[in-house]
Amino acid sequence: MASIKIPTPLRAYTHGEATIAVSGSTVKEALADLVTQHPELRQHIYEGDTLRNFVNVYLGEEDIRFLNGVETALEGDAKLRIIPSIAGGVGA
């Protein structure tokens, strides 16, 4: 079964769980299972039916945007990570 590592700011919506076991043969199906298990996450990772621009999903060390996006196929024990973009910094 695949798993998704949840970043610390979103763990409030997973009852503090850092890693969630999910089912699905694609990233899209795995994320759908994640938000089925933890519905409060949906508004934080989706805008409508698409991932929010600042939400990055990695399969292992690869950003899914450089693979096949949410249609990327998953092996049985795939490890996904949600990594929100961080803005800010100091200007010159």
pLDDT digits (tens, 9 = 90+) for 7-44: 999 999 999 999 999 999 999 999 999 999 999 999 99
Domain ranges of the chain: 2-84
Neighbour-count burial for 1-36, b at 16+ CB within 10 Å, e otherwise = ebbbebeeebeebbeeeeebebebebbbbbbbbbbe
| CATH classification number, 2-84, choose in 3.40.50.970, 3.10.20.30, 3.30.2310.20, 3.30.1460.30 | 3.10.20.30
- 60 forms beta bridges with none
Q: What is the largest CA-CA distance in the chain?
A: 47
Q: What is the DSSP letter of 87?
A: -
Give me the residue label for tokens 């933890």: 38
pLDDT of 85: 78
Enter the pTM of the model: 0.89
